[in-house]
Amino acid sequence: MDKKILTWDTLGRILELLNKQKIVFTNGCFDILHPGHIHILDQAKSYGDILIVGLNSDNSIKRLKGSSRPKVFQKDRLKILSSIKFVDYVVLFEEETPLKLIEKIKPNFLVKGGDYTLEDIVGREFVEKNGGQVKIIKLLEGHSSSSLIDKFEN
């Protein structure tokens, strides 16, 4: 297994080693990776020392987006994300939201794309209560997985 791809158990051990570093967390489906994702990941990394990406599992995406998704299976999405130079670790989660993961990681920064408002960001209250900050990164115009999937299917 790629050293950047963590299980919940290995995540705990890594977090113990990272105790003095600024941890940035973001999450998503990353069903079809595109320049908008790369932009957000690159900007997210700039806020701290370590970028941990929470990745929705295949089952989680099916529950969120319907039975025709994901288009790219989790083993491949894990491999793609872990190959990005500014992503330090990737961890899969089965739930529909990353709240449990955020509570385990206790990031210094929680980062989401500009299609979210502060009120909509899962884990915001937990992060802020624990002294962290929430950052919203402006999206790159014209880049979304849904629009790409629509283009390919129509």
* Per-residue pLDDT tens digits for 120-145: 999 999 999 999 999 999 987 655 55
Q: What is the mean pLDDT of the chain?
A: 90
Q: What is the pLDDT of residue 149?
A: 45
User: CA–CA separation, 85 vs 87, rounded Å?
Assistant: 6
CB 65 within 8 A of CB 144: no
Alpha helix positions (H), the chain: 8-17, 35-45, 58-65, 74-82, 99-105, 124-129, 145-153
Q: Cα 127 to the chain's mean position, in Å? A: 15
d(Cα 131, Cα 17) in Å, to the nearest integer? 20
Among all chains, which residue has been given the structure tokens 């955020």?
102
Name the one residue in this structure whose structure tokens are 């989790």. Answer: 74
Domain layout of the chain by residue ranges: 5-153
Predicted pLDDT at 141: 65
If phi > 0 it is left, if psi is from -120 to 50 it is alpha, else beta; for residue 142 that is: left
3.90.198.10, 3.20.20.70, 3.40.50.620, 3.30.70.100: CATH of 5-153:
3.40.50.620
Q: Over the stretch 34-83, which tens digit does the pLDDT of each residue have?
A: 888 999 999 999 999 999 999 999 999 999 988 988 889 999 999 999 99
DSSP state for residue 22 in the 8-state scheme: P
Host H or E run for residue 153: helix 145-153
Which DSSP helix (H) or strand (E) runs through 87? none
